[in-house]
Structures are given as structure tokens and as C-alpha cells.
A and B are shown apart, each in its own frame.
Chain A
Amino acid sequence: MPRMRFIQAINQALVEEMERDSRTILIGEDVEASIFGDTRGLLDRFGADRVRNTPISEQTLTGISVGAAACGCRVILHMMFSNFIYTGFDAIANQMAKLRLMSGGQITLPITVIANYGGGRSTAAQHSDTPLSLLMNLAGVEVVVPSTPDNAKGLMKTAIRSDNPTFFLEPGGRGGDTEEVPSGDYVTPLGEARIMREGSDLSLITMGSMTRMTLQAAKRLETELGVSAEVLDLQSLVPLDTEAILASVGRTGRAIVVDESRDACSVASHVAAILADKGFAQLKAPVQRITVPDTAMPYAPSAELPLLPNAERIVIAARALFSEV
């Protein structure tokens, strides 16, 4: 299998899907220059009709996506940073998420919204949000979060082929991660989590930007505590693989959810609620959440970095779980 950078894998998925369906278009601010590199080269390849650099007009770009998708296009909308989802949020929350219901199912809305999320790079509070659970709460939109080049490519292809609005949240700062990516056409199915590491004592449930660090924490748990930790990468938040979450915790009896969201109503708290509702009998200890405190991200690294989940916090939480037995 060829080795490929995260951002190359996304780019390859975009190329393949735009070649696959001539009604697929890409719009967004600076998609030609492509500050993240994911849309680089597409304008030359597919032309200015199908790849459109847009003005900075987020509230209309989301509306345009709805109108174009409802009238025959397959739309890929690049919102750049996840915080700009907020400036375009009206047509996302009031139209994209709702028109399939409000029209009585008359239409499909094949829209993929790409945005780069997460902190840790001194981009300050307006370029570092993690709006995963915000989007999960909308209903009517799918949410996928890649964690490695191979599922980045597979999830992007799935998102573009979906007839529903689908948010593809790229973990910020991970574009250079290089791994093997299968050759040729493949998709990563919606609603399927994947086990990145098998274990028997503890489930570390995570997604996107948190997976690499969580895998490192799992190794530390093995060597420092003798704890065998399973790492479950959710990949798809809507739909969510509830079965895989329950099955993993059924095997291990303990769960720590590692999530870059702010803690209140986070992905982590939702997973914890599912485990409390449906996995209570299997739990040997309370579910732990490693999240970001309910605060905006500061600029200075000394203030920002300690807010993010890290391996140390996971080890401390795990130690507490096992000392309670």
C-alpha cells in the first residue's frame, strides 16, 4: 500500500469523487490557494465551473449549497476553519438540517461540509473550536471525523456519496501525518467505529484529533500500570456506532472517553449517557470523560495546551479507575 499524508488522502478522495460524478462541485473560500492543501490542484483539474473560489460570505455559501443541492448538484462546501461554521450557521441549522423533513421528503441534500477543527496551535479562540457535539445535536446532518489518512480518504468518499448533508471535520494540524492508504476505490461506512488497538481491561473511546495521543496513552497504561486498554475510534458521530461502544465496554467493564469538545454536552458526555443507559450492568467503574474545560481556547501555549486532553490526564484517570476496584 502507498504511504500518503493525511491531506493527500483527502485530496485524492476529492479528485476521485469529482471524476466519478460530473455534477459534483466544490465551493469555498480560497479553495484554489487551499491553505490546508486538501483542495490544491482541483481548480486546474476540474475547471472554474466546478471548482469555485468564493467571496467571504459564509451565510450565503451555506444557503447556496442548499439551493444547488436541492436543484441537482452534489455540493462540497469548504468552510476552512470550523469556527466559520458559526457565521454560516443559519442555513445549516434552519435549512440543511431541516428541509428534508419540512418538504415531506421531497428532496435529497447531497452536501459535504469540510472544516478544520481543534486547538493546540495558538490559533486562539476563533480558529480552534471543536463543534462536534453542536452538529450532532442538530439532527438531520451526518458527522464524520477522520483520524488517519486511510479513514480520511474513505470517510470523505462516503460523505460525498451520501444524499444527506454530511460534515467532514478535519483534525487541525494533522495534515502531515503519513500512513499507508489502500489503493483504489474504497469507502469507510457511516456509523461504524473501528478498534485501533485491542485490549481487555479498559475501553478508551475517542475520535479524530485525539486518537494518536490516546494510542500513546494506551501504551503507557500497558507498561506503567499493566492495564490492557482497547482504543475505539468512533469515526462517525452521526450515525453513531452505539453497538461497538457497548460491545467494547462489555468486554472491558471500564471506559474513558477522550474528546476535544468542551465538556458540557460533549461527545464524551453523550457516550457516557449511552453507557449509563444501556451498559450499566457491564460497568465496573464510573465512566470518565477527558475533555476540554468549559472555556474558550487561549492563545498562549502555556495557557492553551494544559486545557487539551493529553496522555497524562488519561493515565491519571485510569489509575483512579483501577484503584477504586
Chain B
Amino acid sequence: MAASTSNIQPDDDVLIEMYRRMLLIRKSEEQLFRDVKLGRTPGQVHLSDGQEAVAVGICAPLDDRDQITSTHRGHGHYLAKGGDVNAMFAEVYGKAEGICRGMGGSMHVADFSKGIVGANGIVGAGLGIATGAGLANKLEGDGRVAVCFFGDGAANQGSLMESLNISSLWKLPVLFVCENNGFSEFSPSGTVTSGVISDRAKPFGIPVWNIDGNDVVEVWRTALEAVDHCRSGVGPAFVEARTYRYSGHFSAEAMILSTPYRSDEEIEAWRAKDPVARTRALIIDRGAADAAACERMEMEADACVEGAVAFGEAGTAPDPGTAEQLMRVCS
């Protein structure tokens, strides 16, 4: 399927809720980028600014029992799935109050109570993990779906083929979502990837959607169909969403790269297709809310992020013995 077969539209409240989530992700990541420069974070961050519509649109039909696996660029998935923003900031600041007690950091935010199986520093690691979650779901038989977010870079890991084969063979409820942002770390996709990524799922008999990842309505509409397909027990589904990240592979790349791997013109061309701005325009255009109301939503997101910064800053450094305590394999 080139795109969704239906033309179903989200209700105003659904659209507004998705906009709020996208704003929270955007504002959070802009703040984290500043925090890295301010030295508030002990490590670096990989930002997903520009990709918010994929995370939010895909997670819209999911509930807490459904699982997601995420990538090294995982703040957006975590927040889209309902992860707590305060606990995320505390985690990225390396605090004991962090969602992973400061043991994982930016690249590893996870909240299993909300089905957020976690961001992951190994490109493609979520493919197998989500397939395993799908196996657990199938055995449980309660209609839960496991969603695997991965990038076009991860699509070149051999485990994609293995996961597609096994999940199709065993008819597992796994939704594979390739966020094709055009880059494998610092390499443009065209230099490392052949063919069309979503075509890789077709020989396994898996239904495929190839969509504009910057259009939250199209992502949402596709998610409804694809998640429904997985829930019905007939097997996995595959979505390739074309999108773009503005901030680069990671926060400090401008300091270490001698030459840019992409042009300012390219970035600006994608900013013209910005998913947050497009959603705002759609809300106003259809009269779901006016400009002043959208302004208030932005201010609310700002306030939420300010609160998260304060929560993170007030956090405490984890006890030096935490790692050994958590790693202890004998009781």
C-alpha cells in the first residue's frame, strides 16, 4: 500500500492531543540540547526533532499494555507512549530519581510499566526484542501489540531479515516502524542503502505502508490500520515513514566533524515540512482551536519542560554502589 486506503480523520480532541505530545517532545529536546551545552547532562543526546509525528501518530492507538522498542533517538517515543517527562529529564541528568535511576541515560530511557521496553544504544537491537515481546503477547493471547521503532540505518542490520521471517512465520503481533530520516549516523542513506526499505518486508507476506512521516494525520491513520492488523492475530505489519532530523546524529557532532555531511538548504527544505507547524496549521485551519489556544498549548509545554528541568536539577546523584547492587546476580 502506498498509503492508507481510508481517508478517516482524527476527531478534534485527538488531533489536539497529538499536537500537545509533539510540542512536549519538541520543547523537551530543544531544552536537552541547551542542557548539553550548559553541561547539565553528563553525556550526549541524540535528538529526534523533526520526527515527532511518527512517534506520536504511531503511539496514538496504543495503550499501556502494548509495548514499544525504541532507538538511540528515543526521547520522542518515550514521551509519545506516555513516559513521565520529569523522570526522563532526571535520567538524562544522571540522577537517582531518573526513570532508570540514572543507570541508563538519554539513550536508554525505559518504563516497563507503560510498555516502554526502552531506547537502545545498539542500532537494530529492538528488532529482536520487539519480536520477543510479540511472542510473549501471542502466548498471552490478549491482543497486545509490540511496536518496533527503528531507523533506516538499522534496516541494514541482518536481524531485520531474521525478525521479519520469524514474526511472519509465527504470525506475531509486531508492528515494524522504519523511521527513514535519510541518514545512517553520518552517512546519507543513498551511500549505504540499496532499494526501498519497505520492499524488504514484502517477500515475507507482510503488509506494507509507505508514508509521509511528517504528516501526523497520515501516520495516525496508518497506525490505526497497521495496529489493528497486528491485534487481529494475523501477523506483523510494516510501516516506512519518511522523515528528517534537524539536529544531526548527536548533540556534539558540529564540534567533531570537519566537514558537514548535509547542506543547510536541505535542512531548511525539511523545516518547511515541519510536522509540528503542519499540525498547528491544520488545527487552526479546521477550526479545532484558534491561534491563541495553540499559543497556550505551547506555553503549557514550556511550563512542563521547565518543571522537568527543576525536577531533574533537584535530583540526587545515584549511590556509587547502585550498579553493583543492580548487577548482582546472586541473592
Question: Which one of B112, B121, B128, B139 contacts A64 once the chains associate, using CB atoms below 8 Å?
Answer: B128
How many Å from the CB of B268 to the closest CB on chain A? Answer: 37
In the complex, B140 has a CB within 8 A of chain A: yes
Chain B positions within 8 Å of A142 at CB level? 329-330
Task: For residue B200, give the distance in angstroms from its CB to the closest CB of chain A.
Answer: 15
Residues in A whose Cβ lies below 8 Å from that of B132: 63-71, 73, 75
A140 to B, closest residue via Cβ = B327
Q: Tell me the complex Cα distance, A288–B5, Å.
A: 72
B129 at the interface (CB under 8 A from A): yes
Q: Is the CB of A73 within 8 A of B136?
A: yes
Q: How far is the CB of A51 from chain B (nearest CB, A)?
A: 12
**For residue B108, which residues in chain A have a CB less than 8 angstroms away from its CB?**
102-103
A157 to B133, CA, bound (A): 24
User: Residue-by-residue, is B123-161 near A (CB-CB < 8 Å gives 1, otherwise 0)?
Assistant: 001011111111111011000001000000000001100
Is B326 in the interface zone, CB < 8 Å from A?
A: yes
Q: How many residues of A contact B (CB 8 A)?
A: 46
Is B56 part of the contact surface with A, judged by Cβ < 8 Å?
Answer: no
Residues of B within 8 A of A139 (CB): 327, 329
Q: Inside 8 A of A103's CB, which chain B residues have their CB?
A: 100, 103-104, 108, 110, 112, 118
Separation of A287 and B165 alpha carbons in the complex (Å): 51
Task: Name A128-169 residues within 8 Å CB distance of B.
Answer: 139-142, 164
Given A64-B131, A71-B132, A73-B135, A104:B103 Cβ within 8 A: yes
Contact A64 B166 (CB under 8 A): yes
Q: How far is it, in angstroms, between the C-alpha of A71 and the C-alpha of B118 when the chains are bound?
A: 12
Chain B residue nearest to A48 in the complex (CB): B170
> Which residues from A are CB-within-8-Å of B118?
99, 102-103
Contact of B163 with A by CB under 8 A: yes
CB of B103 within 8 A of CB of A94, answer no
Residue A13, interface by CB 8 Å: no
User: Does B310 sit at the interface, judged by CB under 8 A?
Assistant: no
A100 near B129 (CB under 8 angstroms)?
no
Contact of B329 among A60, A99, A164 (CB under 8 A): A164
A55 contacts chain B at the CB level, 8 A cutoff? yes
CA distance A190 to B113 in the complex (A): 30
Beta-carbon contact of A91 and B327 below 8 Å: no
Residues of A contacting B67 with CB < 8 Å? 71
In angstroms, Cα B123 to Cα A298, docked, is 36
Closest to B122 in A: A94
CA distance A66 to B69 in the complex (A): 12
- Contacts A65-B132, A73-B139, A190-B330 known; A52 to B163 CB distance under 8 Å? no
Is A37 located at the chain interface by the 8 A CB criterion?
no
A1 CB, nearest partner CB in chain B, Å:
29
* Contact between B330 and A95, CB atoms less than 8 A apart: no
Tell me whether A102 and B104 are in contact in the complex, defined as CB-CB below 8 angstroms, given that A63-B128, A67-B128, A164-B329 are known contacts: yes
Min distance, Cβ A324 to any Cβ of chain B, angstroms: 37
B117 and A70 within 8 A (CB) = yes
- Indicate which residue in B110, B120, B165 contacts A55 across the interface (CB closer than 8 Å): B165
Q: Report the separation of the CA atoms of residues A91 and B117 in the bound assembly, to the nearest whole angstrom.
A: 14
A interface footprint on B315-326 (CB within 8 Å = 1, 0 otherwise): 000000001001
What residues on B are CB-neighbors of A102 within 8 Å?
100, 103-104, 108, 110, 118
A60/B110 contact (C-beta < 8 A), A72-B140, A239-B330 known: no
Residues of B within 8 A of A95 (CB): 120, 122, 125, 129
Q: Which of B193-218 contact A (CB under 8 A)?
A: none
Q: Which of B113, B326, B327, B329 has the most chain A CB within a 10 Å cutoff?
A: B329
* Least CB distance, A28 to chain B, in whole angstroms: 13
| A49-93 residues at the B interface, CB under 8 angstroms | 49-50, 52, 54-55, 57, 59-73, 75, 90-91
Across the interface, which residues of B come within 8 angstroms of A106, CB to CB?
A: 100, 110-113
A-chain residues with CB within 8 Å of residue B290 when the two chains form the complex = none
Q: 1/0 contact trace for B57-77 toward A, CB 8 Å? A: 000000000010100000000
B residues within 8 A CB of A63? 125, 127-129, 131-132, 159, 163
| Contact between chains at A59 and B158 (CB < 8 Å) | yes
Contact status B111-A55, CB under 8 Å = no
Interface: A191 (CB within 8 A)? yes
Are A191 and B330 closer than 8 Å at their CB atoms? yes
Q: B113: which A residues are within 8 A, CB to CB?
A: 106
Interface centre among A67, A99, A102, A238 (most CB of B within 10 A): A67
Would you give the 0/1 interface string for A215-235, flagging 1 where the beta carbon is closer than 8 Å to chain B? 000000000000000000000
Question: Is A275's CB within 8 Å of the partner chain B?
Answer: no
Q: What's the Cα separation between A141 and B131 when bound, in Å?
A: 22
> Considering residues A50, A106, A107, A140, which has the most beta carbons from chain B within 10 angstroms of its beta carbon?
A106
- Kindly list chain A residues whose C-beta atoms are within 8 Å of the C-beta of B98: 104
Given known contacts A59-B162, A63-B128, A91-B128, is B101 in contact with A105 (CB within 8 Å)? Answer: yes
Which B residues from 300 to 321 make CB contacts under 8 A with A?
Answer: none
Contact of B99 with A by CB under 8 A: yes
Which residues from 34 to 90 on chain B have a C-beta closer than 8 Å to any C-beta of chain A? 67, 69
From residue B281, how far is it (CB to closest CB) to chain A in Å? Answer: 39
- The reply to whether A101 and B326 contact each other, CB–CB distance below 8 Å, is yes
B102 at the interface (CB under 8 A from A): yes
**Bound-complex Cα distance A52 to B158 (A):** 21
Q: Which 5 interchain pairs have the tightest Cβ spacing?
A: A63-B128, A67-B132, A104-B101, A104-B100, A64-B132
* 21 A–B contacts, CB within 8 A, in A order: A25-B135, A52-B170, A54-B166, A55-B162, A55-B169, A57-B162, A60-B166, A64-B131, A67-B130, A67-B132, A70-B132, A73-B132, A73-B135, A73-B136, A91-B128, A94-B125, A102-B100, A103-B112, A104-B98, A106-B112, A142-B329
Which A residues are closer than 8 A to B by beta carbons?
23, 25, 49-50, 52, 54-55, 57, 59-73, 75, 90-91, 94-95, 99-107, 139-142, 164, 190-191, 238-239
